[in-house]
Chains A and B, each alone.
Chain A
Amino acid sequence: MSGPQDGGRLAAPTTPDPDLVDVLTDLFTDYRATRATPTADVDLDDGLWQRLEDLGMTRLTGSESAGGSGGGWVDAAALLGLAAAAAAPVPLAEHDVLGGWLLEAAGLPNDGGLRTVCRPDPSGVALNVTWARDASHVVALWEDRDQWRVADVPADRVGIEERRNLAGEPSDTVEFDLDDLEAGTLVAGEVGEQFHLRGALARSAQVVGAMERIVEIVLVHVRERHQFGRPIGRFQAVQHLVADIASETALARAATDAAVARAAASDWRDPGMLFAVGVAKSCVGHAASVVVRGSHQVLGAIGTTLEHELHTLTRPILARRSEYGSLHDWDETLTTLASSAGRDRLWTLITTGRAKPSGSGGLT
C-alpha cells in the first residue's frame, strides 16, 4: 500500500527500546534459570536488586539530573512487565516509578536508598505497604486537608507491623508520626491525583507481564504433557482453553500499552489518562480471572504445588489487580465516565479518554 497522499504520518508505534528489552530479557532469563525453588513467603532479592542497580534499572524513570536514567513510561512498563514475568522480588514500581517520581515532584533529594510508597490515612497509618520492611525510607503522599504533601520518612521513624499479601510478599502496616507527615513538602494537586493512576498503570504492566509468562508456561506444558497417547495440546478442548488464555492476555496487553503510550506521549498531562488507565485496569483485572483460572486448569495438579513456577505468577497477579483500586472500583469509575458521556459522546470518550473535546490541543 502506498503511504498517505499528504505524506503525513497516520500512526505512531509505541514499542520499548529494543536494546533495553534485550538486556532485560537476558538478565531475567538468567535470573529464572539460577534462582532457588519457589517459597511460600517471598523476600527481597538483594543480589538481583544490586544487578538492576548496576544497570541503572532501579532509577530508570528518574531524570538524569537527579541521578536517574531518564527513561520514559514505555521503557518503564517494559521493565515492570519483564520483571513480573520472572516473578522478580524487587520493588521497581515502588522505588522508582512511584517513590522516585514523588520525590522529584516534591523537589526532594533522592540518595538512592531503597524506597517504598504509601498514602497514609488521616491518623497516619498506611496498610499493605509493599516492601516497607526493606526500605531505607518510606515516601508518603499525604492528604493534608485539601492539599497534598510528600514526606520522605526514614524507616527508623516509622512503626512497621510485618504482614504479607496473597503473593507472600512483604505488605506491611506502616504507622507514621503525624509530625513527619505534616513536615512534608507541598506538591501540586495533580500529583495526588496522578499517584493513583500511576500506581494503577504500573500494576497493570506487571500483571500483563506475568500473564504473558503464563502463556509461555502453558504452551510448553501442553506440548510436553502426554495423556491418552498424545500431547494434551492436541485435544481441541485444551486448545480452546489455551486460545482464550492467550487472547485475554493480548487484550489486556493492548489496553495497557494504549494507556502507557498516552502517558508517555503527554507526560501524563493528557486529560484522558483517567479513562485510559481505567480501561487498562479493568481489562487486566478481568483477564486475570480467565488467565489464572484457565492456566491452573491446563497445568493440572502439578501447577498447584509450591515447587512449580505457576503460583509465583498467579498469586502476584491476584494480589496486584486489587491494588490502586479494586476491579470493582475501576469499573465503577468507568461507568461514571461512560454514563456522563451519554449516548452521543460515549465514542468520543472511548477514542480520546474524555467526553468533551478540549481546546487545549491535547491528544485525540
Chain B
Amino acid sequence: MSARLVPPGARELPALTALRLEVRAFLAEQVVAGAFVPHVDTWLTRWDRDFTRELGRRGWLGMVVPTEYGGQGRTYLERFVVTEELLVVGAPVAAHWIAERQIGPSLLRYGTEEQKQAFLPGISRGEVVFGIGMSEPDSGSDLASVRTRAERVDGGWRLTGTKVWTSGAHEADAFFALARSAPLDPQHRHAGLTQFIVDLRAPGVTIRPIISMGGDHHFNEVHLDGVLIPDDRVLGAVGEGWAQVTSELAYERSGPERVLSTFQLLAAAAQAMDDGRLPLDPGLGRHVARVAALHHMSFAVSVALEEHDDADTAAAVVKVLGTTEEGDIADYVDTLTATGWALDEELDTLLHAAILQRPGFTLRGGTNEVLRGVIARGLGLR
C-alpha cells in the first residue's frame, strides 16, 4: 500500500455535521421560498449578489479568513462542508466563488496588511466580487507563456495585454492578473511573472463578452490597454507570480465543485426513476457510488490541506476523476431520455444545461490531459 496517491480517509465528526445540517436547512427553506431555482454548474453560471450577501451575513463566506479581517476564522473543513451543501442544492454561488476560493486565501498568504484590510472584509460580506485573469488567447494550459506585459513606470506598473475566459468579469469589481514583468527567459520560463490586483473599472480596461455555445454570457475577454497599477496593488513579490499561482492549486483542484457541478441532474434523474419517468437503470447506482466515493476522497484531501500536507497530486486525482464523473452524469442521463416519451421540463432544463456545460468541466482549472501528467509526475514517471 505504499503507492498511495491520495491521503487516508477520515470520518466527519458531529461538530462538522451540525454545520452541514444548518446550511442544508437554510438552503431547503430558500428553495421552498423560491429564492433560487436549483440548477447545474451554478458556481460558473448563476450570479445572485443578494444571495451571496445573505451567505456573508450568515457567516458562510470568508470562512478561513481570520476575524481581524472580517472573516470567520474557521477551518478549511468547515468551508468544505458549506461549499458542498451549496453545490448539491444548485444554489447561485458564482458571484463569490472565485473570491471565496482563491482570492481570499491568496491575499491572506501574499497580500500586504493594507491589501488584506482593503479587500478581505468585503469578500467576507459578499460585497466585493473578484475574477481571475490567467488564460490568454495564446496561453491556456501553458500558463507560463502569458504575454500580458507589465512595464515599470513611476509609482507603479502599466499592464498591456488580453485575458480570456474571465468568468464574471462583466459583473466583478476587480481581478488578479498574471503578467510578465520581465522578458521571457527561455531557460527559466517561470521566472519574471507577477500578480497584480486590477480594478476592472480603471481607465484602459475594456471587457467584451465571450458567448458560450448555448448562448449564455459567463466568460469575457478583458483587454488591458496600459492600465496603471499602483505599487500597492502588486500582489506578493515581483517576479514570484508563478510560485504564488501554483501554490494554491490544490485548493482549487480538489474542491467539491470538481465533482458536484451536475449533482442536481443526478438527483432529478433519481427522482424521475422513482416516478417512472425514466427507466430504473443500474447506471444510476454506479454514478451515485462514484459521487459518494469522490465526496470521501475530496474530504480526505481537505483534511490533508488542513494539516498542511502536500496534496498537489491528490488534488489532480480528484479533479480528473471528479470532472470526468460530473460530465459522465450528463451523458448518462442523456442516454436514458427518449425525446417525446415523457415531457419533463425540469429534467430537460437541467440536462440540456449540463450537456452544454460539460466540455468546460475537464478544461477549466487545468485540462485533464495536463493533470494526468501531474499525476504521472507524482508517481515518479516525469
Which residues of A does B touch, CB under 8 Å? 1-6, 8-15, 21, 78, 81-82, 85, 209, 212, 215-216, 219, 222-223, 233-234, 236, 239-240, 242-244, 246-255, 257-258, 261-262, 265, 275, 278-279, 282-283, 286, 328, 330-344, 346-347, 349-351, 363-364
Contacts and interface: CB of A to CB of B under 8 A. Distances in A.
Given A233-B381, A246-B5, A14 B11 contact: yes
A247 B281 CA distance: 26
B289 interface: yes
Contact of B376 (A209, A216, A243): A243
Interface stretch (B39-47, B131-139, B192-200, B264-272): B264-272
B3 A332 contact: no
Interface string B157-187: 0000000000000000000000000000000
B99 interface: no
A286 to B, nearest CB: 6
B306 A1 contact: yes
A275 B291 CA distance: 13
Contacts of B93: none
Given A332-B285, A339-B284, A216 B372 contact: no
Interface string B295-321: 111011001001010000010010011
B3 A346 contact: no
A300 B283 CA distance: 31
A82 B1 contact: yes
8 contacts: A236-B373, A250-B297, A250-B314, A254-B297, A255-B292, A335-B273, A337-B285, A342-B270
B307 to A, nearest CB: 9
A239 B382 contact: yes
A299 to B, nearest CB: 15
A4 B75 contact: yes
B91 to A, nearest CB: 13
Contacts of B382: 234, 239
Contacts of A2: 73, 75
Q: Which of A4, A275, A334, A350 has the most CB of B within 10 A?
A: A350
Interface of B: 1-6, 8-17, 20-21, 24, 28, 64, 73-78, 88-89, 263, 266-268, 270-271, 273-274, 280-286, 288-297, 299-300, 303, 306, 308, 314, 317, 320-321, 369, 372-373, 375-376, 379-382
Nearest to B297: A254
Contacts, number: 229
A335 B381 CA distance: 39
Nearest to B6: A250
B11 A278 contact: no
Contact of B17 (A209, A234, A364): A364
Contacts of B283: 331, 335
Given A8-B13, A10-B16, A350-B291, A244 B285 contact: no
Contact of A246 (B64, B266, B288, B379): B379
Contacts of A275: 292
A307 B59 CA distance: 62
Contacts of B3: 212, 215-216, 219, 246
A334 B286 contact: yes
B10 to A, nearest CB: 4
Contacts of B379: 219, 242-243, 246
Contacts of B24: 347
Contacts of A342: 267, 270-271, 274
Contact of B274 (A219, A248, A286, A340): A340
A258 B73 contact: no
Nearest to B369: A240
A75 to B, nearest CB: 13
Contacts of B299: 11
